[in-house]
Structure 1
Amino acid sequence: MYLLGQLLLWAITIYTWIIILQVAISWLVVFKVLDIRNPKARNLIDLLRKCTDPVMKPVQKYIPAIGGIDISPIVVIIALQILASIIARIFFHGYYGYY
């Protein structure tokens, strides 16, 4: 059970970082630091979207952008942290900083 809990927390952490990376790259595209015509950049953007869209799209349906800024990544990250806290309580009885 301990290993399963560790794997789930690890997966949540990796997915959170993928969301953060996708947001950072989207801002780099907006500020024209990253050119989307570059095939490698385009492939990275497509890969990140394929990873994040299954979770982000349903949230984006219910939470509209505020002033042109999409806040759904914040909502998803908060939900993932709550999920990590629940997993830690179940598997580790509140240890590892997730309370």
Structure 2
Amino acid sequence: MNSLIEGYIRTLIDIYQYVIIAYVLLSWLPSARDSFIGEMLGKLCEPYLGVFRRFIPPIGGMIDISPIVALIALRFVGEGIIAVVRFIIP
């Protein structure tokens, strides 16, 4: 039971990480964020990435490293949730 829950949590974290990576890669293509997929990914990613963009300004005015920090934080939060699950469900 415990490993099943851990597997679901890890899978959800992995999927969301891929969604964030796809959204960041779309920023490199002109007008790709205006497409249906770009708008859908924006609705999924912007609320989460916006938290980090408030605190991390772009480097040199152009390079946004907030998605990198967001991915690292997402991994830490996921591992924290798994640790709590392991503690609650022996």
TM-score computed with the length of structure 2 as normaliser: 0.78
Name 1:97's counterpart in structure 2: none
Deviation at 1:48, TM superposition (A): 0.6
Asked whether the 8 Å contact 2:9–2:82 carries over to 1, the reply is: no
Of 26, 49, 57, the residue aligned with 1:64 is: 57
Identify the residue that residue 35 of structure 2 maps to in structure 1. Answer: 42
User: 1:86, CA displacement in angstroms?
Assistant: 3.0
Aligned counterpart for 1:79 among listed residues 69, 73, 79: 73
Q: Counterpart of 1:51?
A: 44
Matches of 1:78 and 1:18 in 2, distance apart?
A: 14
Given that 1:2 and 1:91 are in contact with CA atoms closer than 8 Å, whether structure 2 keeps it comes out as: no
Structure-to-structure mapping, 1:22-41, within 5 angstroms: 22-29=23-30, 36=31
Percent of counterpart pairs with the same letter? 33
Residue-pair matches, total = 84
Deviations 1:38-80 (A, max 9, x none): 8xx6111101100101111111111111121111100110111
C-alpha separation in 2, matches of 1:49 and 1:69: 18
**Contact preservation (8 Å) 1:9, 1:87:** no
**Aligned-pair CA distance for 1:85:** 3.1
Distance 1:25 1:10 in 2: 23
